[in-house]
């Protein structure tokens, strides 16, 4: 029975550590923010840094989509040019 309790405690500790990895980053950013400003600003910095780290802005998504579209169109033009020359794409 003791082994089962140890395994359960160890599993809970590992799961907690994995879930808190993002909190460590937030804590570092929060500490830096606390040195610069008030607690409210630090909380905002932690939340903002966490959100920025895991999300992509609309502008970034749109820029990536446009870049991929230009690359696809460029490749299509090259393929058409190769076909006119009698070569395979």
Residues 6 and 29 in one domain: yes
Residue 11 is predicted with a pLDDT of 80
Residue 24 is predicted with a pLDDT of 57
Burial class (CB in 10 A: 0-12, 13-18, 19+), 30: buried
Residues 3 and 35 in one domain: yes
Helices (H) then strands (E): counts for the chain: 4, 0
Residues 35 and 67 in one domain: no
| pTM confidence score | 0.38
> How confident is the model over 11-59, as pLDDT tens digits?
887 877 767 666 655 665 566 555 555 554 545 566 666 666 677 889 9
Number of structural domains (the chain) is: 2
Compute CA distances 19 → 7, 24, 65, whole Å. 18, 10, 32
DSSP-assigned letter for residue 89: -
Q: Which residue has the higher pLDDT, 65 or 18?
A: 65
Residue count of the chain: 89
Q: Which domain holds residue 65?
A: 57-89
Residues 49 and 83 in one domain: no
Residues 43 and 68 in one domain: no
């Amino acid at each position: 029975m003791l082994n089962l309790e140890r395994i359960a405690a160890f599993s809970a500790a590992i799961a907690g550590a994995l879930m808190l990895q993002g909190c460590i980053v937030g804590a570092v950013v929060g500490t830096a923010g606390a040195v610069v400003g008030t607690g409210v600003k630090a909380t905002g910095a932690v939340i903002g840094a966490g959100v920025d780290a895991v999300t992509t802005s609309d502008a970034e998504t749109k820029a990536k989509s446009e870049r991929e579209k230009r690359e696809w169109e460029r490749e299509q033009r090259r393929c058409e040019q190769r076909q006119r020359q009698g070569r395979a794409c």
